Structure 1
Amino acid sequence: MDLAALPLDTEALLAGLRPWIECESPTFDAAAVNRMMDLAAADTAAAGASITRIPGPKGLGDCVRATFPHPRQGESGILVMSHLDTVHPVGTLAKLPFRREGSRCYGPGILDMKGGAYAGLQAIVALARAGVATPLPITVLYTSDEEIGSPGTRELIMEEARRHRYVLVPEPGQPGDGVVTGRYAIARFNLAAEGRPSHAGSRLKDGRSAISLMARQLLAIEEMTGEDCTFSVGVIQGGQWVNCVPTSCRAEALSMAKRQQDLDRGVERMLALSQREADGTGFTVERGVTRPVWEPDEGTMALYRQARDIAAELGWDLGHASAGGGSDANFTGAAGIPSLDGLGLLGAGYHTLEEHIEVGSLARRTRLIAGLLARLSD
């Protein structure tokens, strides 16, 4: 099969991708995520798949499983796994509209990872149009909470992944046009500071500010960052009345390490920050969602080598690396299921108002995914 001859037109792909980008879907807005799932389910059903709608985690959006017709349907095959939630709140389109500027195309979630999710679907469509039968059956899974660590979908992800021989994840590609064969370990933490109330005007010294206590701890946490393990705080909420000394403040922290043992030590350091004073004030750290380190094994490297050969046919040298930032491949790769991540589009600025893709990567990465679907076998 000549992958370069697959019927893929960049302008048509961009036109099809646009509704996905303009359907905003921040994780914590279940109704918005469900609108995105409706759209993706409809497009995937139109491509010939049977759709199963899976109720989402409490307070979050649904998930969608799509199975494509195949003589070996029900047997172990290929899982193409994407998340359709983003970090961008509804209304971001006003500041970051879908637009093309030269070799770039902008929009909320276009790189992380709706562009890759769409490319995965279009790879299946292109093979069908070309009359190419895949050796293995294909299932697509769209999930709804990856941007918060997949706390509600991890069990679903692993249940589905264990039914398959290979897992392909079209998260953003690596700089230099590479893919991801491993991921760092990540832990999230819930932080709580408890203060003592008083009137901020007449009795200020009688109180103890939970916000001040939290602020001191946040500085200490971020100063713990070293070469082996990073620490950052990304969410903080506290106080209600400016004339009251605040009695509570909450925050969320993130730690990341290349090796599991380094993360484990980081977790111990974080948990050791918990303290309680005799007057009831104090600071508490609770461990939240954790993604295990994913180190490439032979199954993943064999999968990478097939992708490298396909890329070579298409005219480029496909590199690979372990990457920071979590993905659902942390779970599948760490469990020993051959997984290849970073198959999605190239670009930059994800999680910011400069998020964009390199337009030229859209058809190229779709061909790469199509080549894997067409050639992976028992």
Structure 2
Amino acid sequence: MTIDVNAVPLDAEAMLNGLKRWVELESPTYDKPSVDKMTAMAAEDMEDLGFSVEVIPGPEGLGDCARAAFPHERTGEPGILIIGHLDTVHPLGTLEKLPFKREGNRCWGPGICDMKGGNFAAISAVKALADMGVKTPLPVHVLLTSDEEIGTPGTRALIEAEAQKHKYVLVPEPAWGRNTVVTGRYAIARYHLTAMGRPSHAGAALKAGQSAVKMMARELLAIEDMTDDDCTFSVSVVHGGQWVNCVPTVCRAECLSMAKRQEDLDRGAARLMAFDRRQADGTGFLVEKSVVRPVWEASEGTMELFERAKRIAGDLGFPLSHASEGGGSDGNFTGAMGLPTLDGLGVVGANVHTLDEHIEVDSLASRGRLIAGLLAELD
């Protein structure tokens, strides 16, 4: 059914007050107790909104996840799955540098844009429709996970299994443009890099050793220099050495590679694996492939979803365009499965993953109404 989306009872100020609790509960991926607390808070809030919620133990060493269903007479039939993540890239203590702060139509805080704001808007949209007396044609489920920011190594199978039960997938990741949603994402691969040197005393026998840090620095530059228009390479998270008076024997780093097409990513992988070598004396450079996100190219079903969203946005008074984006999300998986998936439905903001991460407050309501419009008519 079509509804008057402008009448959906969502108030940005009230939503921001609720979101504040989420933002001020820091939840970096690698801090399991913090993510568990965030999941518990989200689960409690969803229960208060009328959802039935199941907390799912997270992957080993990582936080719990939450699976929720809103009451519906067709529960158990294929419906709509909203997927999001509760983990952030911001370490504990970021609130001291990036406190929850409001100035005019902007509000700052760790994870407020990526993607606690979008998650909060989405679950609020479900409740707002119920408050209007609107029954969605299809049952609505929500899956909130705990490891998206590290490539979803532990919850990919859960996401794909849940998505397979449904007809549509909505992803309230940040809107990369004020009036844009995401209909495709690039292919992404992560790699572990390890340089293995030879030890010696850095003062008394410097030349007898071989520095793993120096090796990593040299190879890092060569790897990043392979970046071109088809495939990019970025090396970060570098750790090496323990004592300044010892020639470092091990240096580790991570590499992120991204391409618009799967074949370009595969060619990039072959180029990167060519750096892998081991010498008879134990020195060398190891390249190990880690998690990947498949390329997601817009399907006919995804574009039909976009056209609906575009019409709804027009009713809300703003134009809507679409794009394929480089930043990965769990929409990569569902889109690559061929499921109609619409991503980037979350709040409008900027500078995610930085100490200037912020949202435009009014987008909590406008994006919530956009999601509500989709929920109300998808069948």
Instruction: Name the structure 2 match of 1:109.
Output: 111
Aligned to 1:194: 196
**2:258 pairs with 1:256:** yes
1:63-82 to structure 2, matched below 5 A, reads 63-82=65-84
Q: Is the 8 A contact 1:176 1:319 kept in 2?
A: no
CA contact (8 A) 2:12 2:363 kept: no
Q: Give 1:329's aligned residue.
A: 331
- Amino acid in the other structure paired with 1:278: A
Q: Does the CA-based 8 Å contact 2:182-2:344 persist in structure 1?
A: yes
Pick from 177, 180, 203 the counterpart of residue 179 of structure 2: 177
Separation (CA, whole Å) in 1 of partners of 2:244 and 2:126: 56
- Which of these residues, 135, 138, 152, is aligned with residue 137 of structure 2? 135
Aligned with residue 349 of structure 2, among 347, 350, 357: 347
In 2: Cα distance, 1:260 partner to 1:281 partner: 33
Cα separation, 2, equivalents of 1:197 and 1:345: 51
Deviation at 1:177, TM superposition (A): 1.2
1:11-44 deviations in Å (ceiling 9; x for gaps): 1011011000001000000000001001000000
Structure 1 residue 278 displacement after superposition? 2.8
SS at match of 2:267: helix
Match of 1:124 among 117, 123, 126: 126
**Separation (CA, whole Å) in 1 of partners of 2:11 and 2:292:** 40
CA distance in 2, matches of 1:326, 1:262: 16
When structure 1 is superposed on structure 2, of 313-322 and 1-10 the one drifting more is 1-10
Q: TM-score when scaled to structure 2?
A: 0.99
Structure 1 position 125, deviation (Å): 1.2
CA contact (8 A) 2:115 2:172 kept: yes
How does 1:140-155 map onto structure 2 within 5 Å? 140-155=142-157
Alignment correspondent of 1:282: 284
Question: Equivalent residue of 2:15, what SS?
Answer: helix
Aligned residue type for 2:310: R
Q: Paired residue for 1:356, among 358, 366, 379?
A: 358
Alignment map for 1:28-39 (pairs within 5 Å): 28-39=30-41
Alignment partner of 2:238: what SS? strand
Which residue number corresponds to residue 60 of structure 1? 62
| 1:265 corresponds to which of 251, 264, 267 | 267
Q: Secondary structure at the match of 2:68?
A: strand
Distance (whole Å) between structure 2 residues aligned to residue 176 and residue 6 of structure 1: 20
Name the SS for the 2:153 alignment partner: coil
Determine the C-alpha separation between the residues in 2 that align with 1:234 and 1:274.
18
Q: Which residue number in structure 1 is paired with residue 15 of structure 2?
A: 13
Letter matched to residue 369 of structure 1: I
Q: Deviations over 1:275-324 (max 9, x none)?
A: 12232210010111010000001010111111111111111111000001
Q: Would the aligned equivalents of 1:6 and 1:127 in 2 still touch at CA under 8 Å?
A: yes
Per-residue CA shift, 1:133-154, capped at 9, x if unaligned? 0000010000000000000000
Amino acid at match of 1:241: W
What secondary structure is seen at the aligned counterpart in 2 of 1:142?
Answer: strand
Give, in whole Å, the separation in 1 of the partners of 2:126 and 2:92: 30
Structure 1: distance between partners of 2:104 and 2:130: 31
Q: Does 1:207 align with 2:209?
A: yes
- 1:231-277 deviations in whole A, cap 9, x for unaligned? 00121111111111111111000000111111010011111111122
- What secondary structure is seen at the aligned counterpart in 2 of 1:90? coil
Q: Distance in 1 between matches of 2:130 and 2:192?
A: 47
Shift of 1:176: 3.7
Q: Aligned residue for 1:369?
A: 371
Indicate the percent of aligned positions where both proteins have the same amino acid.
65
Partner-residue secondary structure (3-state), 1:256: strand
Q: Which of 28, 32, 50 in structure 2 is aligned with 1:26?
A: 28
The code of the aligned residue for 2:363 comes to S
Length, aligned pairs only:
377
Unaligned runs of 5+ in 1: none
Give the superposition deviation at 1:6: 1.5
1:150 and 1:183 map into 2 onto residues whose CA distance is 15
1:40 aligned residue: 42
> CA–CA distance in 1 between the matches of 2:12 and 2:255?
40
| Aligned-CA RMSD value | 0.7
> Secondary structure of the equivalent of 1:244?
coil
Question: Structure 2: which amino acid aligns with 1:41?
Answer: A
Where 1:262 maps in the other structure, the secondary structure is helix
Q: Which amino acid aligns with 1:335?
A: M
